[in-house]
Every structure is written in C-alpha cells, then in structure tokens.
Amino acid sequence: MCRVSGYIGKKETLPIIMDGLRRQSYGGYDSSGVVIGKDSNLTCIKAVGKLENLEKKLEGQNLKGNWGIGHIRWASHGAVTEANAHPFWDCKKNIYLAHNGIIENYRELKDVLIKEGHKFISETDTEVAVHLIEKYFEGNLEEAVRKALKEIRGAYGFVIIARDDPQKIVAARLSSPLLIGINEDSYIIASDPTAIVPYARKIINLDDYEIATITLKDLFIIKEKVPETLELVPEEAEKGGYPHFMLKEIMEEPEAIENAIRGRLMIEEGSVKLGGLDSISEKLRKINRLILVACGTASYAARVGEYMLEEYAEIPTEVDIGSEFRYRKPVVDKNTAGIFVSQSGETADTLAALKEMKQKGILTLGITNVVGSAQARETDAGVYTRSGPEIAVASTKAFLGQLATLAMLTVYLGRQREMALVMGKRIVSELAKLPELAKDVLKSAPEIEKLAKKYKDYKNFWFIGRKYNAPIASEGALKLKEISYLHAEGVAGGELKHGSLALIDENFPTVAICPSDSVYEKMVSNIQEIKARGGPVIAVATEGNEDIKKIVDDVIYIPKTLEMLTPMLSVIPLHLFSYYVAALLGHDVDRPKNLAKSVTVE
Ligand code: AGP
C-alpha cells in the first residue's frame, strides 16, 4: 500500500522524511518522491524503483528546508513511471499533494477539470485531487482542501502543501491510516507509527473525515482530539540482529503467545479475564450465533476459532472473508455477534464488513493487534492481541496472538454457557504452557532450514490438514506463496481424493500436518494415498510418534498439547519453512513483490 510522510519543525526536513519513507517501505512500493520547502520555495524530486534511486537523484541537490512531504507508491492506477509517482502538483506548481488510497470517482472529476482547462501529467486517480484543490484555492490551503474533499469519493490519507500558503501542511483522512506525531517544536506525519517512533512519543490518530492543519506553531484539527501515548519503542522497529524482520517475528512467536495470555488466565476459576469485553459481557451471554470476518492470514485464524467456538463454547459459528461478506446479504438478528480479526486493524474489506454489521445494529467485537487502529475504534468492544509491531508483510507472530485470543474467547463464552470448570481449567492451564512449548518448536529451526534446502527447487506444494489443522494447511500454503513465489495450495486432507490427488507425482511435495489428534488415522490414510502415487511427504507430527517415520520422507516434530491448541504449534514449522525457502531463493522476504502489509483499499 502507498505510504505518506511529512515534517514541519526546526530540523532539516529531508533526512526525516526519507527516514520516514524507509521505515514504512516494508509495505512494498515501486516509486517514491519528496517535496521540500525552504521559506516559500518548494522543490519536488521523484524516482522510479527503490528509495536508493531517489537518494541518488537527491545527491548534490543540497535540498534544504524545514517543511515538506514524501511518498512511496504501490501502483493501483497507472504504470510504474516517474510521471505517475507522487507528489503531484497543480497547474501553477503552487500546491503539492501525496496520497495513500483510491479516488473512486476520479474519471468524472478529471473530465470536468480538463474542460475547465486543467493540464494533467499522469494516468493516476490521485492527480485529480491537487487540481480540485487548485480550483478552490484562494490563499488558504485548508479551506480549499475542505471544499475539494466534498467532491471526492473513495479512501484517502492526504498530505498537502502550498507555496502560496507556506510553512503549513494539511493532512486529511478517510479510511486510510494517517497519524501525526507531536513534539514541542515539530510535527511528523505518517501512514504508520513505525515512521514516527524515533521522533515523537505523542501521536494523534486522525479519524475519518478529519482535516488537520499543521504549522510550526500549531496543530488544528477540525473535530478536537486527545493525544495518546505511543506504545511502540524504537528498538521494536529494528531487526534486532536478524537478517529479516520475518525471522525476528517468527522467533518472537512464543513471546506473542505470552503477551496475549499475560494476566488474562484464571486457572483456579477455569476461566479468563478479557477486560476489553467487560462492557458487553451481559450482551454476550444472550448471543446464540457468531460470524467471524477477516482477510488473508487472519481469516485462517478465524477458521481455527470456528472449530474452537463450536466444539467448546457450543455457539453456532461461521467464517467469511471481508471482501465477500461486504457484498453478500447475511441474515442476522439481534442475538448474532460479529467478530472481526485483523492484525493492522486497517484492512479495508474487513472494515467495510464491520460497517455493514454496525449498520444492522449487530454487536461487534474486534481482535486487533495495532492499538488505536480503525477496527479497534469502530468495534463495540474487543481484545488486543498484544503481539507488538509486525513489520514484515507476511504475518506470523500476530497469527499466534490471534489464535491465543480466540482460544481465550472460547473459554470466556464457554464458561458463560455450558463449559464445565474442569474443561475450563484444562484449556487455560494448557494455554499457559504454550509459550514454552512454542520455544521447543523453534529449536528445530536448523533442521527446518535443511528441509528448505532439500525442497526449495520444487515448483508446486500441497499443504494438507484436517479439523483444527485444515486452516493451518491454508496458512502454510499462503506463507510459502507470498514470500517464495512458488505455487502452493492448502487443502483439507479428506478433499484430496476429490480432485487434487490428480496432480500428485514425484515433483509435487506435500506438507502433511498430522498431530496425534482425533483425526490422525484419517490423515495417515491421506498420506498413504499420496505415497502410493510417488508424492514426497513432509509430516508435522507429535513428538513420540515413531510410526510416522515409516511412511513419510521427512518429519518435523511438535510437542503434545490439547487438540484445539495444536495449530499454535503446528504452524510455527510452516512459517520457518516458508521463510528459509524464500531466503534461500534470495527473495526480498520482508517486502515481497506485489504485496502490502495492510491492504487499506478495496
Ligand atoms: C498475510 O501474511 C498477509 N500479509 C495478508 O494475507 C494479511 O493477513 C491480510 O491482508 C489481513 O491483514 P490484517 O490482519 O492486517 O487485516
């Protein structure tokens, strides 16, 4: 997704804006640009490709100034060219603008503006906005922006400056994340908190339809807000000595479980304490149907949650992906609750589904990682997964935080209903052991790296699992796909013989997730179906299971735990496997091509 940054203050702007763009670049990008203001002179430099190309163009320019904006682009409208890179300027080279989002009605606006004589230089949707603001500009930038935004439909995080209204940045938000870092003598603007961390401790999260006018002396937002304290600390946004953020975050998976359960397990009472739900706990007692909505990796966590909530809380539960839920006509009633799962809390499709549910007056809960994100602010109540900042595009530790939170939610709702004290005690005491068990799984990282070396040259992979581990098969396949660019599919073990088996041969390895649980025997027959057709098989199995070695090519062992909690151990080797394969293939693991960390547009 695109990312914007801005700075106004006493210090030199360019290094701060470039650092802001670099820190947000994990989200993937294809071109970049900055505009730096010195007094009322504005200089704009743009470049295609990596930020290094922009740095090369900036060399020797000696671009000085104390205010400016910057942008990294993830192309949605128009090819990857310098002309289509942001920031854009108006016909008089007075106003400059950078944008994160999509302007849905840009064609009709562009036609009108062209008829009014405006000259366009790009194929993008965004350029329309700078000419629209130009149309209303009479010396006061925020006034012109306010008028222009009335005509714009879509999603936006805008940062805008003007030569003829100098020493001022106007920022406006609708759906796309936009934050302002506040200091005594300066303001930093960004799409993501990681770009603000080194420069400010106080931030403001702009809300939808808010416009901020930022000058050296003052920050004025149409609709007042109370600054929050940023949780994030600078170190957390660093790699901590690992070659990639993804490996660092996989190694933090035990800690992610620890953070999610800390202070929330009540072992003696066989229950959990989820403070974020207290305000709606009585309403939750009356709920007799759950709909979980999420996208990508988060949707696989939701699918594991579906098994947990039905088996242990005995509540009819269904899962849907945000991009489908928002357009289907779900039949819901007042005893239905919607649970939205998202790491970033800014995923447009999940947020749209949330708005749809709120429209119908349905109780909404959020399972979110990013504090203060739109999902956290829009849902009636929720639980933070507390996984810490997740920088790599491929979601790993946040997934563990989501699974731990769904397991606790199952106990919370189960104990409100038929779940007995003994069962509650069993689940929470087993949950309490998981951080240590997860650390044990990570000890097999060197072996898994060897397996990655052995299998990295295959072009196609199946991942199979059953019951709680069927969604984990999908998660394993997604991870391998999104960072190694190899073809992989997750399929429920029992589905193989209904078609997918046709593809099996010695060139098509399968990763079989088969812990010693209630469906183990079924998984063994699926593995034999594959072996009978010469397919190589890597099994993820429970420690102590020696038999499995006789029927598969390679085994990765995980410790024993409750069936409903096995996904929190079986997924870790899959995250490691995909990481090592991608790293061995020399890919940019943290910033895979064509992908973004949080998908803030439809
Ligand atoms: C996962 O590795 C991907 N980055 C992607 O599928 C992600 O899970 C999806 O976009 C949902 O993101 P969210 O959890 O921030 O809503």
| Closest protein CA for atom 16 of ligand 1 | 342
pLDDT band of 194, cuts 50, 70, 90: confident
Cβ(344) to ligand 1 under 6 A?
yes
| Closest protein CA for atom 5 of ligand 1 | 296
What's the 598 CA to ligand 1 centre distance in angstroms?
Answer: 6
H/E element, 436: helix 421-442
Is 532:504 a contact under the CB 8 Å cutoff? no
What's the 529 CA to ligand 1 centre distance in angstroms?
Answer: 33
Looking at per-residue confidence, does 238 or 259 come out higher?
A: 259
What is the atom index within ligand 1 of the atom nearest the CA of 295?
Answer: 11
| Closest protein CA for atom 7 of ligand 1 | 296
**C-alpha dist (Å) from residue 452 to 47, 248, 385, 392, 538:** 36, 18, 30, 20, 11
User: How open is the CA angle 340-345-349, to the nearest 5 degrees?
Assistant: 65
Look at 154-158, 412-416, 505-509 and tell me which has the smallest mean pLDDT.
154-158
Cβ(598) to ligand 1 under 6 A?
yes
pLDDT of residue 206: 86
pLDDT of 236 > 60? The answer is no
SS3 content of the chain, % helix, strand, coil (to 5): 40, 25, 35
Cβ(482) to ligand 1 under 6 A?
yes
pLDDT of residue 227: 52
Residue 597 is a catalytic residue:
yes
Cβ(350) to ligand 1 under 6 A?
yes
What's the 166 CA to ligand 1 centre distance in angstroms?
Answer: 39
Cβ(347) to ligand 1 under 6 A?
yes
Q: Which amino acid, one-letter code, is at 97?
A: L
| Three-class secondary structure of residue 182 per DSSP | strand
Cβ(297) to ligand 1 under 6 A?
yes
| Sheet with 554-558, edge to edge strand ranges | 487-492, 460-465, 510-513, 537-542, 554-558
Q: For 497-533, what is the HEC assignment?
A: HHCHHHHCCCCCCEEEECCCCCCHHHHHHHHHHHHCC
Is 251:242 a contact under the CB 8 Å cutoff? yes
Looking at per-residue confidence, does 471 or 593 come out higher?
A: 471
> 110, 248, 479, 597: which is the annotated catalytic residue?
597
pLDDT of 233 > 80? The answer is no
Cβ(526) to ligand 1 under 6 A?
no
DSSP 120: P
| Closest protein CA for atom 3 of ligand 1 | 394
- Is the peptide bond preceding residue 316 cis, with omega within 30 degrees of 0? no
pLDDT of 230 > 60? The answer is no
What's the 395 CA to ligand 1 centre distance in angstroms?
Answer: 6
For the entire predicted model, the pTM comes to 0.75
Cβ(395) to ligand 1 under 6 A?
yes
Pick from 300, 395, 578 the residue to mutate for probing ligand 1's pocket: most ligand atoms within 8 Å of its CB. Answer: 395
Nearest to 6 by CA among 123, 120, 101, 86: 86
Look at 128-132, 182-186, 223-227, 438-442 and tell me which has the smallest mean pLDDT.
223-227
Distance CA 179, CA 177 (A): 7
Percent of the chain with pLDDT over 70: 97
Distance CA 394, CA 273 (A): 30
What's the 553 CA to ligand 1 centre distance in angstroms?
Answer: 32
Are β-strands 67-73 and 3-9 bridged in parallel, bridged antiparallel, or unpaired?
A: antiparallel
Nearest to 463 by CA among 472, 450, 451, 452: 472
Residue 514 is a catalytic residue:
no
pLDDT of 27 > 70? The answer is no
pLDDT of residue 73: 87
Cβ(296) to ligand 1 under 6 A?
yes
Over residues 158-167, mean pLDDT = 96
Look at 195-209, 367-381, 391-405 and tell me which has the smallest mean pLDDT.
195-209
Distance CA 163, CA 90 (A): 11
